[in-house]
Amino acid sequence: MKCSKAPGKVLLFGEHFVVKGKPALGVAVSPYVKTCVELGKGRVYSKQLGLLEPSSPHRALFDAVIQAVVERYGATPSLDVDVDSELPIASGMGSSAAIAVSLTHAVLSLMNIDFNREDVRLIAHEAEKAVHYKPSGVDTTLSTYGGFLYYKQGDFKRLDLRLPVDTLLVIVNTRQKRQTGVVVREVLERYSRIGEVAELIYSAGELIVSKAIKALELGNANQLGELMLVNHGLLWSMGASSIICDTVVHDLLSSGAYGAKISGAGRGGVVIGLIPRSTVESLRVWLQRKGYEFYIVEPDYTGVVSA
């Protein structure tokens, strides 16, 4: 048996805009997916979802990974797969990418194939394309390599960045499920309908990414938070937000956050907030009283590893 684990991710800036060639900035974070594989009869079992039958929609990603490995390296033996995910499903934290990356890494390790991280990323991305609508590749790259990542038009650049001193990244899971592919498609449909207006919105999104990198380099939490709010507004204008997401953003601001925004596809999933470390406990009480699932993440600078 071989096991691998891969981190989740949050997009700090630029989601949706990447599909039209604009940059995004993301970071790999500590909740992980652990996947184990061994010779077997093709069984796929999720600790969270139970046995995944071939007809299950949750099974498609696993089958796509195996197919991508077969296309690259030839036939594989029949395998049993066990997955344990700490990441909420369909929330914007890259759970499917972390599954694809950890499964790819574990399968290649079991088969004693000479591979590197880029091989893992490419296979996982092919699998994601089989089940999602035009994935940018940001999620699989962050899960594979870890750290902060700048992405633009297929160009991935790891950045030596840290969050500002005495700040924490807070994740609020709205528990509102949505289909990533549907949201991405409908945002693109609005882009087509409003034309030049959308181009200006996307250009503003590009400028925000460059200013956010500078704010991170300078450790300027106030500016970083303000840029998060502006980015959230741009995503709202393209139809990527929802009432629950906007409510969480306002709740975080009223509790002392520097800024907050949706992260990922939007219309549910997770909202991220940048808060002073000193406000953690009061914020925890506030959000729990409102019934939100709330937790703090640590950046992961390693990416996928054997477990």
Q: Which residues are catalytic?
A: 139
Burial of 296 (0-12, 13-18, 19+ CB in 10 A): middle
Do residues 100 and 140 lie in contact, with contact meaning Cβ atoms separated by under 8 Å?
yes
Burial of 234 (0-12, 13-18, 19+ CB in 10 A): buried
Do residues 232 and 210 lie in contact, with contact meaning Cβ atoms separated by under 8 Å?
no
Do residues 72 and 123 lie in contact, with contact meaning Cβ atoms separated by under 8 Å?
yes
DSSP state of 300: -
DSSP state of 172: E
Do residues 33 and 132 lie in contact, with contact meaning Cβ atoms separated by under 8 Å?
no
CB atoms within 10 A of CB 116: 8
DSSP H or E segment with residue 229: helix 221-237
Residue type, 51: L
- 144-171: burial string, b at 16+ Cβ within 10 Å, e else: bbbbbbbbbeeebebeebebbeebbbbb
